[in-house]
Every structure is written in structure tokens, then in C-alpha cells.
Chains A and B, each alone.
Chain A
Amino acid sequence: MATAHSKSAARMMIAPAVFVLLVWMLIPLCMTLYFSFADYRPMRGIFEAWIGFKNYESFLTSSSFMKSLLTTLWMVGGILTITITGGVAMALLLDKPMFGQGIVRILVIAPFFVMPTVSALVWKNMFFNVDNGLFSYAYEFFGAQPFDFLSQAPLLSIVIIVAWQWLPFATLILLTAVQSLDSEKLEAAEIDGAPAFARFRFIILPHLSRAITVVILIQTIFLLSIFAEIFVTTNGAFGTRTLTYLVYQRVLESQNIGLGSAGGIIAVILANIVAIFLMRIVGKNLDN
């Protein structure tokens, strides 16, 4: 229904949301932009309003930046690999006929609802800890030396923690997609003599490709901003400093606002690139 009355009402009704988000986007972002072109180190009382692109230069050329990019890549890549392959496997498994499927789903979904600080601390102390963690007991039980996860493989540790949290998400999404697969296609293939793996490769996987893409994109957006888990376990040390964490440290720990802001802008640009791909898929779906 579209009358002049309802159209103007609609404009008024949507205004608060648009206004509020606009302010949220513009003001802080513009401030960050502004600071990125300044030399501002409050702890040392330095403030120079305009130094051009020097912050960007030094941020981009610093060794910490390249390392943080790699760290981010490894972390996000590792988590994605585990969650996607695990998610596909779990989704296929949960789709099979079984007893107590509802309960199994609940068990699998649960980790997603645990707050990041809790899961990080529980894993850090009760599983990874080299003296008292469960994994150490397991190692000793099998006669091996306990492996100090957090100091010997900190990145892997964090990957495990976050993958544990996000595997349920991927599973749920992929399960929804698997359940939308028309069983007739699979049956036809079976009748045609296709073995299980071929059925998986040529029918199931292509059908899931769209869902997998969505999971990858959405998870990437969220994974780029992993914070609490790092904060609470390694505080960015031992090669676990992602781009996000690097910017955080520059801004709040070393208080080099100018440098940190430049880093923040760079992070925004990188995130936008991922977002554009996601928006295209979502946009296509909105047309339906």
C-alpha cells in the first residue's frame, strides 16, 4: 500500500535508525581519519595536527604490520579451515537418521553461546595448562611429555579455542543448507550407481557451495575482530598479534593515537573489501 500518508510516515519511522547508524558510522570514523593524519601521543604530550601520510607509511612499513597481517591470515585461515571442513562433516552427520538428534544438536551448538572470555580461560587453564591441564594428563597417560600449548604453539591454541566456538555456527548454517537438498537428486545418483564419495563431490558439495561461501564471508568478518581470546590468553605476545590487536595496542597501550588510527583505517579498508563480497550475495538474496 502506498499513499502519500503512509510514505511520509514510513520516512519518519525509518529516520531514527538511519540517523543513529549514520552518526555511529560517520563521527567516530571521521575522528579516526583525522587522527590518522596527526602525530598525537598524549602520554608524551605530543600533538601535531597534520603530518600527512607519515603514520600510514610507518604503519605499513613496520615489521609488526606485516607480521600482524600474516598472523591474522594464519589465524583466520586456520579457523575457517577447521570450521568449514568440520561444519560440513557435522552437517552431513546430523542429517543422517539417528536417535536423539535433537539432543546431539544441542550438544554441538552449545559452544557458540559461551562468552569468549570464559571459553578462552577455560581452555587456557583447564586444558592447555602444562601443569594441570587435561591435555597434559592425556600426554602423560600415553607416556609422552606434556606439550605446553600456550608457549609452544600459541597461535594454534587460539585457533583451537575460537574454532571450537565457531564450529557450531558453521554446522548450523550448513545443516540448514543440507536439509534443503532435494533427496531425489541423491537417490537418482545412487540408482545410477554413483558411489558415496562421488555423490558427495558432485551433488552435495555444489549445493552447499553457496552456504559455504556465506559462512566463510560472515565468519571472516567476525574473525577479523577477534579480541577477547587474545587479550585473556597471550595479550598479543608470542606471535598472536593480529592486525586488530596491533591497532588496539598502538591506540590504548602505547598510546600512539596517530599511528593507531592509521592502522584502524587500514583495518577498515581491508574489512570493507570482504564486506563487499558478502553484500553482493545478501543483496542477490533480498531480490527474492
Chain B
Amino acid sequence: MGNISLNQVTKSFGDVQVIPPLDLDINEGEFVVFVGPSGCGKSTLLRLIAGLEDTTSGHISIDGNDATQLPPAKRGLAMVFQSYALYPHMSVRKNIAFPLRMAGLDEAAQTAKIDAAAKALNLTDYLDRKPGQLSGGQRQRVAIGRAIVREPSAFLFDEPLSNLDAALRVGMRLEIMELHEKLKTTMIYVTHDQVEAMTMADKIVVLQAGVIEQVGSPLELYHAPRNKFVAGFIGSPKMNQIEGPEAAKHDATTIGIRPEHLTVSKTEGMWKGRVGVAEHLGSDTFIHVHDTGLMDMMTVRITGDIEARHGDTIYLTPVADQMHRFDEKGLRIA
């Protein structure tokens, strides 16, 4: 249950091809995150899997069956929308009951499942309220509840946390991860936030302009990004990417070093620069370094605090085995 395969799937809107031929395998029980910048096609891909859009060519199979021509209702999937898409004229109970009603379950069976889902999601007290009377987080849970009762082979999440404020987002993130632990069902999650991707995923699919740049576990993507785009997208602050003579010294067109893999010193180091803005968070400090001659502005991350004032001279040294090398095509050199 929950194996999904995409085979040479393309999608065009009119004459514009937004997704060139794409292959992807999603295994049972995985938490897969589609991540990428705006317009990269991640939501489109999710909707193709859901059946809300038709593929222009290619096949989608779900649990071994060709689902390409199946309407959304028959694919056995459930989706949580960014805006929750709750039925405003129905109570929470009726919202969650709706898919069960459509499936023809009798009242008793419906009630049992609704009560179970409500208990799991802390919604029991709200069953008789309407969506308009709920907070954002509660609505989110109702949307999830509505998806859970369908017992789908996979859950599809379309940027579910974007409409929540920061504090709520962190809490909901954990709840969704707990849900995955408990249900062990395949989950496909779309987000533009790479932090969500890194913390939640078993497997991340990085997309740009409809093309899969890399598929891998969070740590794989962190340690071994396949190209400059993935290297720059995963990890915050962004990896420093240096071109020119310094890169040539290391037999590459571009070298990359993450801000957390640079050591600093006031007196000596491989690269010399001038301190610009320093962001002191207490737990970490981000220092922006200018005039290195290597790139416009390098970013360094240090645990704890450091005395570095604007204009001070500073020396940076990369940690030896953490340097990434990329060739002239932007691809990783092993």
C-alpha cells in the first residue's frame, strides 16, 4: 500500500511545458517532500498524482495499478489543501463524515471513525462547531481528520503550514511527523520551506522548473548535493560558492563551503576579509564577510558569540573535508 510511481510524466498548459519527462518512485510508508522555489512545479506534480490535473503524457501507477486515467475519487488518496478547503456550511463532524458518506458507510460506522479521528487530533470538543468558528490550527486538524478517515494509501499535503503563524507552524510540523510515525502511511508533502523539508522528510525531491534536480535523504542532500542548485537551496544560510582562481586551485570551476564549515580567527587563516554585518542570535552568530576577493560576500556561522565589529579584519579557514567541488556544468565532482 502506498507505492506510487511516475513514469515519463509530462505536463503542459497549452504550449508551455511546465514539467518535462519525469520519473519518480515513492515507496510505501515514506515521508516524501517535494521542495523547490516558487513555480518549480511541485504543486502541479502533487495535483497530477492526486488526479486533479491530467498528465499530458506518461503514466502514474498507484500500488501497481495504472491510475493515469482514474478520477481523484478512485485513486485512494487523500489531500490536505493549503487553505484547508473545509466545507463552511458543515460542522466539523459533518466535514469529517463527508468522505465516509460518499463511500456509503452506515451511520454507526461513520460515527466510530469520526470519534476515533477526533480523539487522535484533539478535536472532540469541537465536533459541533463550524469551520468559521475555529482557529487556523484547529481547521488544519479538521482537514487532516477528513483525510485520515478515508484510510488512504497515501496522504498528499499541499503547503499545509503556509497559512499558519511561525509558532503554530513548528507545533503542527511536529504533529504531522507524529502522525506519520503512528499511521506509517505514505505521505507526500509539498513546501517551499527547506527547513520543513529537512526536518520532516525521509526522502526529499528537489525541483526546479519542472525538473527533478535530486532525490535523496535530507543528509544525503546536505552532504552530497548533486549540483550547484541543490547545494545552494538546501541549508540555511546558503552555501558559499566561490569561482575563479581559488576554485581552480582545487581543480574545480566552483567550490562550495557551508557557513558552518568555516573556522574564524582574528590573526591567521586561509582567506582574509573584513567584517560587515554580524547577526548575534546568542546561540549562534552569523558574520557577513566582505573583501575576500573570492566572492561578493561570504557568510560564516559560529556557535556561541564572538567579538567582531564592523570593519574588523578576520581570517577564515574551511574545514578540510567539507569543501564541495563543482565542474563547469555545475555538477558535483566526487
| Chain A residues near B (Cβ < 8 Å) | 1-5
Contact = CB atoms under 8 A, between A and B. Distances in A.
A280 B47 CA distance: 36
B294 to A, nearest CB: 49
A3 B51 CA distance: 8
A5 to B, nearest CB: 5
Contacts of A4: 54, 69
B71 A2 contact: no
A1 B69 CA distance: 15
7 contacts: A1-B52, A1-B53, A2-B53, A2-B54, A3-B51, A3-B54, A3-B71
B53 A5 contact: no
Nearest to A3: B54
Given A1-B53, A2-B54, A5-B71, 5 more contacts: A1-B52, A2-B53, A3-B51, A3-B53, A4-B69
The CB with the most chain A CB atoms within 10 A, among B51, B52, B54, is that of B54
A5 B47 CA distance: 15
Contacts of A2: 53-54
Nearest to B70: A5
Interface in B38-85: 47, 51-54, 69, 71
A3 B69 CA distance: 10
A42 to B, nearest CB: 56
A3 B47 CA distance: 11
A1 B51 CA distance: 10
Contacts of B47: 1
Nearest to B55: A3
B48 to A, nearest CB: 10
Nearest to A5: B71
A1 B71 CA distance: 12
B312 to A, nearest CB: 51
A5 B54 CA distance: 9
A5 B52 CA distance: 10
Interface residues of B, number: 7
Contacts of B69: 4
Contacts of B52: 1, 3
Contacts of A5: 71
Contacts of B51: 3
A3 B60 CA distance: 15
A5 B51 CA distance: 10
Lowest 5 A-B CB distances belong to which pairs? A3-B54, A5-B71, A1-B52, A4-B54, A3-B53
Nearest to B52: A1
Interface in B135-150: none
A246 B71 CA distance: 58
A3 B54 CA distance: 5
Nearest to B71: A5
Nearest to A7: B54
A283 to B, nearest CB: 21
Interface string B74-111: 00000000000000000000000000000000000000
Nearest to B73: A5
A19 to B, nearest CB: 26
B286 to A, nearest CB: 43
Nearest to A4: B54
The CB with the most chain B CB atoms within 10 A, among A2, A4, A5, is that of A5
A90 to B, nearest CB: 38
Nearest to B13: A2
A2 B11 CA distance: 12
A174 to B, nearest CB: 35
B46 to A, nearest CB: 13
A12 to B, nearest CB: 15
A4 B53 CA distance: 9
Interface string B181-216: 000000000000000000000000000000000000
B135 to A, nearest CB: 28
A16 to B, nearest CB: 23
A5 B53 CA distance: 10
The CB with the most chain B CB atoms within 10 A, among A1, A3, A4, A5, is that of A3
A288 B44 CA distance: 25
A35 to B, nearest CB: 46
Interface in B100-139: none
B73 to A, nearest CB: 10
A2 B52 CA distance: 7
A4 B70 CA distance: 10
B60 to A, nearest CB: 13
B11 to A, nearest CB: 11
A138 B52 CA distance: 71
A11 to B, nearest CB: 15
A130 to B, nearest CB: 60
A6 to B, nearest CB: 9
B52 to A, nearest CB: 5
A1 B311 CA distance: 55
Contacts of B53: 1-3
B55 to A, nearest CB: 10
B224 to A, nearest CB: 38
A34 to B, nearest CB: 43
Contacts of A1: 47, 52-53
A148 B214 CA distance: 91
A153 to B, nearest CB: 57
Contacts of B54: 2-4
A3 B72 CA distance: 10
Nearest to A1: B52
B205 to A, nearest CB: 23
A182 B173 CA distance: 44
